[in-house]
Structure 1
Amino acid sequence: MLIKEFKTQFFTELSELYPQTEIQSFFNIIIEYKLNLTRIDVALQPDFEIKSVDLNFLKNALSELSKFTPIQYIIGETEFFGLKFKVNKNVLIPRPETEELIQSIIEDSKNLGEIKILDIGTGTGCIAISLAKNLPNATIFALDISSEALKTAKENALLNNASVKFIEADILNLDELPSTYSIIVSNPPYVRELEKQHMQKNVLDNEPHLALFVEDDNPLLFYNKIGDLAKKHLSSKGNLYFEINQYLGKETAELISEKDFKNVQLKKDMFGEDRMLKASI
């Protein structure tokens, strides 16, 4: 099949499911991933002949997109903070908002001496690995309940030549942390069940619910537990960083303030939503 023929089929089959700009983005991603062709290459070589083995992959990708499978899961990777990360259905796909959280930590920490950082609920390892690559003064630890997620995170650490020490544990059942840390950071589950109706089908049907959802009647469960542990295991002048539910910024800040943390700050993301919280011991 010629690439121009596949492009026509691709756009036709997805036209009623996604906006045109998103379809174009999907097409560019899978063509560059599988055929190593840029958008300009496709425009200049409309009669490029796709090999049958590659066509099978491309047609399967089209089928998966028709079922709202995220493009990142289809190609098995994504870019985050300038790094490449493997992704699969055992881990959440890293979001751009989390890059802002990481940038904030780097700015606050780059001029410090030797520090220890713990990332709770690491998933792909995107927070821990990005910090390890950008803070040579830091020793990084990353914790997750899921052995499958940790397997992916370890692969990503190797892929990016990053030194991270991984811990398998259920944070909700821990009474103590393994050490004392200069920084504790977490992007825990925070989406309430009632918010499912506002979520996209590709997220609901594919990404791990263990890493996404909390019960409506206890939405700050993880923040409460991590806050208590951080109170005991942050070193003097240590900092706690959270990514938070945009609808519960005030409530999260109040919860952390009630634990006698100092300088509790809510920070907005690029979309103007309450997305990050920082507090000091």
Structure 2
Amino acid sequence: MYLKEIKSIFKKELQSLYPKEEIDSFFFLLIEHYLGLQRFILVVQPELVITKEEEQPLFEALSRLKNQEPVQYIIGETFFKELRFKVNQHTLIPRPETEELVNWILNDLSDTPKKTRLLDIGTGSGCIAISLAHYLPQANVSAVDISKKALHIAQENATHNGVEINFFQQDILTAKQADYSYDIIVSNPPYVRELEKAEMHKNVLQYEPESALFVSDKNPLLFYEAIVEFATKNLAEGGSLYFEINQYLPEVTKQLLLTKGFTQVELRKDILGNFRMLKAMR
């Protein structure tokens, strides 16, 4: 079959679910992943024919896309800070706003010569910890998660990206004193309230791990409270705490930090103009 015919089938089958630009993006990702073809291939070879064997994974992926499964889970990987990360149903798919959080930390540490100790709480795929370790090779980076399966993926990602991370299984809700203090603690904890599910797409609700996303409407700051309490014991004097936050709860999250004695609490907007990040000093 002509590759251009398969592209037309993708458009026809998916047009009721996704914008044209997103369908094109899916198609190009898939032909690169399964066939090793670049996105401009149809420009230079418009009559390119692929075999039945080569067609099969594309049509299998199409079927999964029609069920609104994220393309990152279909191909099993994604990019974050220009690094390749394996992802599956045990890990969240890294978001652009999380890259912005990492950029904030990297900018703050750009002139820091010492060997900084960093801790990523709720590491998931390891995208935050691994990116920090990659771009701050002198740093000592640790990461914790409650999920053994997520930690297994994170370790694979660390190995693939050539960085050393100290991974630990830990429930932050019961964590106490650490073995040593950290200069930086960062976390993108669960923060989406149950009431916000109505705003979310099926591909998130049905496929991404609920435990990494949702919190009770009655206690939406559950994980922030636990991490702040942990930070009061394990963040070095003058150290910094960074959070990704719920865009609907910036002020109450900020107040939590102030109440616990943190200073220089700063909220920052993401590229879309929503308050999605917070930094505080101990």
Structure 1 length-normalised TM: 0.98
- 2:273: which partner in 1? 272
Structure 2 distance, partners of 1:42, 1:31, is: 11
Alpha-carbon offset, residue 58 of structure 1: 0.4
Query: Which letter does structure 2 place at the counterpart of 1:118?
Result: L
2-structure distance, mates of 1:235, 1:19: 48
The reply to whether residue 208 of structure 1 matches residue 220 of structure 2 is: no
> Partner residue of 2:227?
226
Partner of 1:45: 45
Moved more, 46-55 or 159-168: 46-55
Residues matched between the structures, number: 281
Superposed displacement of residue 177, structure 1: 2.6
CA distance in 2, matches of 1:246, 1:179: 32
Contiguous gaps of at least 5 residues in structure 1 = none
- SS of the equivalent of 1:102 reads helix
- Alignment of 1:102 with 2:106, yes or no, is no
Superimposed CA distance per residue, residues 175-231 of structure 1 (whole angstroms, 9 cap, x where no aligned partner)? 223321000000000000000000011111100001000000000000001001101
Write the letter of the residue equivalent to 2:142: F
- In the alignment, what sits opposite 2:239? 238
Equivalent residue number for residue 78 of structure 2 = 78
C-alpha separation in 2, matches of 1:251 and 1:53: 55
Question: Residue by residue, what CA displacement relative to the aligned partner does 1:237-273 show, whole Å, maximum 9, x if unpaired?
Answer: 1000000000000010001110000101111111110
Could you say what secondary structure the match of 1:172 adopts? coil
- The corresponding residue for 1:12 is 12
Residue identity in the other structure for 2:224? Y
Q: Residue 128 of structure 1 aligns to which amino acid in structure 2?
A: A
Residue 139 of structure 1 aligns with which residue? Answer: 140
State the shift of 1:34 in Å: 1.5
Separation (CA, whole Å) in 2 of partners of 1:51 and 1:215: 50
Separation in 1, partners of 2:53, 2:142: 41
Report how far residue 10 of structure 1 moved.
1.2
- CA RMSD after TM alignment: 1.0
Distance 1:149 1:54 in 2: 31
Amino acid at match of 1:115: T
Q: Which amino acid aligns with 1:133?
A: H
Counterpart residue identity of residue 228, structure 2: G
Q: CA deviation at 1:54?
A: 2.2
Inter-partner Cα distance in structure 2 for 1:178 and 1:14: 52
1:171 and 2:172 correspond: yes
**The residue matched to 2:248 in structure 1 has which SS?**
helix
Q: Structure 1: which amino acid aligns with 2:252? A: E
Q: Whole-Å Cα distance in 2 between the matches of residues 58 and 209 of structure 1?
A: 28
Moved over 3 A (4+): none
Q: Runs of 5+ in structure 2 lacking a partner? A: none
CA distance in 2, matches of 1:231, 1:244: 19
CA shift digits 1:80-105 (9 cap, x unpaired): 10100001010000001011111111
Show the 5 A alignment for 1:177-192: 177-192=178-193
Could you say what secondary structure the match of 2:252 adopts?
helix
Q: TM-score, normalised by structure 2?
A: 0.97
Match status 1:29 vs 2:29: yes
Residue 36 (structure 1) shift: 1.9
SS of the residue corresponding to residue 171 of structure 1 reads coil
